[in-house]
Amino acid sequence: MYIIYDARHFEDYYSGLSRYSFSVLDELIKSGNFKKLDIILNSSYDYTNNPLFLQIQSKINSKKNINLIYLDAPIFSFKHNFSVSQYINSTNCNIYFYPHFDIPILIRKKSIFVVHDLFALILDDYILKYSFLKKIYLKTILNISLMKKNTKCVAVSETTKQDIIKFFGIKFNNKITVIYEDSFSDTEEEPNTENSLPNLIYEERYLLYIGGRRKHKNLKQMIDIFQILVEKENYDGYFIIAGSKKNFDFNVEEYIYNKKNIISIGQVSDWELNILYKNMEALFFLSKYEGFGLPIVEASKYNKKIITSNLGACKEIAPENALMLDIDNKNDILANRITKYLCGKERINNKKYFKKFSWQNTVKYITSMAVSN
């Protein structure tokens, strides 16, 4: 079969969309279940120092049936509707896979697109500029994509599928297939230089948050709860905040200044993130809304305790041994529940849990759609 895979979202290396794009493509290449594979990239982007691209490039150098196709098609641009569509339509491909919602709308070939979440429609403060126009754009593109006969939609959780149905109608129920993500492919080698993580992660207990700082991530409440853990529950560990340092509704660095045992370390490499997961006491992730909630799956790989909210996809994908909290409760009550959970001696084994999370499931779906009528 002839598959065209759109890998242009590699560009934003730290984003979940970039990692998703990489992981599915990596698994597809490993499977070898294709006669020909074209990988679409953006001709105006320099991939020279992009770790994800370099890893893929090293795996395809000797494969004559895999081609890198560079098109003048910047991501999130109006132009890609024409340049990508023109290329796809000129081929005899069996399937085109695009890992985001804004699939080029002029494509006439059989296609699969992915919806990770509907943040922009559900959260009023998610889009900061031109929100009205951007919401109209999202609704229009997604509605067109869902209505086309030659497209199929993958939702990364049942929560996301139900959100799509809520906004676009039950008529699309059979058009949408739920396929869970997995933790990202462990392909990054140990760096030659020492990592920049604080030494305390090897010596002290700590809770870990990894992610962005948008309001729905609920980071302010987590900081407040942690202070109660330290001051009233006698927790003697730390709270490490990792991820983008871009602030939104409040300044995290200013808010934690003079607060005990809270450390903001910013972006970390995949290698450093694995170290953080491996050494943490528990994941602390009380998000108000997630389309999937990847840190929960990543942390589960290390059989660690997980403290999360009982909302949306967090509740859907959390393992049975996780502590799921109603974040509308008073912080004192939540801190007390967390203390009791951390004191528990239950041995965690997520072997059965992980059976439903596999990049192979996404690849199998792509190849099955390629051969179906």
Q: What is the pLDDT of residues 305-333, one digit of tens each?
A: 999 999 989 999 999 999 999 999 999 99
Sequence-distant (6+) residues with CB within 8 A of 322 are: 296, 305, 306, 307, 308
In-domain check, residue 171: yes
Residue 222 CA to residue 226 CA, distance in Å, equals 6
Question: Do residue 161 and residue 23 come from a single domain?
Answer: yes
User: Is residue 190 one of the residues assigned to a domain?
Assistant: no
Question: Hey, which of 179-188, 313-322, 347-356 has the most confident mean pLDDT?
Answer: 313-322
Reported confidence tier of residue 364, pLDDT bands at 50, 70, 90? very high
Cα 83 off chain centre by: 27
Residues contacting 270, CB < 8 A, separation 6+: 184, 186, 188
Both 317 and 362 in one domain: the answer is no
Same domain? 216 vs 145: no
Number of domains in the chain: 2
* Segments forming the whole domain that contains residue 302: 199-354
Distance, in Å, from the CA atom of 227 to the CA atom of 234, rounded to the nearest integer, reads 10
Q: Which of 119-123, 208-212, 350-354 has the highest mean pLDDT?
A: 208-212
pLDDT of 34 higher than 50:
yes
By the 8 A CB rule, do 209 and 203 touch? no
Same domain, 242 and 276: yes
Question: Based on the domain organization, do 156 and 252 belong to the same domain?
Answer: no
- Residue carrying the six token digits 């150098």: 61
What pLDDT, on the 0 to 100 scale, is given for residue 191? Answer: 56
State the pLDDT at residue 128. 64
Q: Which residues contact 64 (CB under 8 A, 6 or more apart)?
A: none
What is the percent of the chain where pLDDT is above 90?
A: 72
Q: Residue 321 has what pLDDT?
A: 92
Burial 200-218 (b: 16+ CB within 10 A, else e): ebeeeebbbbbbbbbebbb
Q: Is the pLDDT of residue 335 over 90?
A: yes
**Three-class SS state of 113:** strand
Q: Are residues 103 and 6 in the same domain?
A: yes
Query: Is 268 contained in some domain?
Result: yes
Same domain for 24 and 150, yes or no, is yes
Is 326:308 a contact under the CB 8 Å cutoff? no
Say whether both 315 and 228 belong to one domain: yes
Predicted pLDDT at 62: 77
Whole-number pLDDT of residue 198: 86
Residue at 193 is within a domain:
no
Q: Are residues 104 and 120 in the same domain?
A: yes
CA–CA gap between residue 249 and residue 215 (Å, rounded): 6
pLDDT score at 193? 56
pLDDT, residue 127, reads 66
Q: Which pLDDT does position 154 carry in this prediction?
A: 97
The pLDDT of 205-228, averaged and rounded, is: 96
**Which of 145, 177, 183 is closest to 365 using CA atoms?**
177
pTM, full prediction: 0.91
Between 190 and 253, whose confidence is greater? 253
Residue 192 domain-assigned (yes or no): no
Q: What is the pLDDT of residue 194?
A: 62
Q: Kindly report, residue by residue over 273-294, the tens digit of the pLDDT.
A: 999 999 999 999 999 999 999 9
Q: Are residues 91 and 229 in the same domain?
A: no
Question: Any residues with CB less than 8 A from the CB of 272 and at least 6 apart, and which?
Answer: 195, 196, 197
Main-chain dihedrals φ then ψ at residue 124, nearest 5 degrees: -65, -30
**Is 121 in the same domain as 214?**
no
Residues 232, 138 share a domain: no
Mean pLDDT of 211-237: 95
Confidence category of residue 187, pLDDT binned at 50, 70, 90: very low
Q: Is the pLDDT of residue 71 over 70?
A: yes
Q: Is 33 exposed, middle or buried, given 0-12, 13-18 or 19+ CB atoms closer than 10 A?
A: middle
- Does residue 373 surpass a pLDDT of 90? no
Rounded Cα distance between 150 and 110, Å, is 5
Listed as own residue / partner, the contacts of 349-355 with beta carbons closer than 8 Å and 24 or more positions apart are 349/303, 350/300, 350/301, 350/303, 350/319, 350/321, 353/300, 353/319, 353/320, 354/300, 354/301
pLDDT in tens, 100-153: 999 999 999 999 999 999 988 887 776 667 677 878 888 999 999 999 999 999
Q: Say if residues 134 and 120 touch (Cβ distance below 8 Å).
A: yes
pLDDT value at residue 80: 92
Give the CATH number for residue 143. 3.40.50.2000
| pLDDT more than 70, % of the chain | 95
Residue position matching structure tokens 């970039």: 18
Judge whether 172 lies within some domain: yes
Give a yes or no: residue 189 inside a domain. Answer: no
R_g over Cα of the chain: 21
The confidence score (pLDDT) of residue 192 equals 52
Alpha-carbon distance of 141 to 150, in angstroms, equals 15
> Is 286 in a helix, a strand, or coil?
coil
Considering only CA atoms, which of 189, 176, 207, 149 is closest in space to residue 339? 207
Residues 6+ away with beta carbon under 8 Å from 284: 207, 208, 209, 222, 226, 239, 307
Residue 188 forms part of a structural domain? no
State the pLDDT at residue 271: 86
pLDDT at 120: 83
Residue-wise pLDDT for 232-261, tens only, equals 999 999 999 999 899 998 999 999 998 989
